[in-house]
Amino acid sequence: MIKVYTTKTCPYCHALMDWLDEQEIEYEEVDASNMPDITSVPVTEINGERIIGFDRPAIKAALKTNQ
């Protein structure tokens, strides 16, 4: 399962989720507002690997290696 740590006011978070929706990739959105270990958003977690920012190449690579 993919988790996307976001905040309500982060435009990059919403762009990432829109992109995931377009790619038909299922994910769980997690509100990072009160999570002290998340210091920037968005963070995409794929099988324990965390990718900081809306980094499409890194997300695609993580998805390929974790299929």
* pLDDT value, residue 1: 82
For residues 67 and 59, the model is more confident at 59
With 80 as the cut, is the pLDDT of residue 66 above it? no
The predicted-structure confidence for 9-63, as pLDDT tens digits, reads as follows 999 999 999 999 999 999 999 999 999 999 999 999 999 999 999 999 999 999 9
With 70 as the cut, is the pLDDT of residue 2 above it? yes
Domain ranges of the chain: 2-65
Sheet holding 49-52, edge to edge: 28-31, 2-6, 43-46, 49-52
CATH number of this structure's domain 2-65 = 3.40.30.10
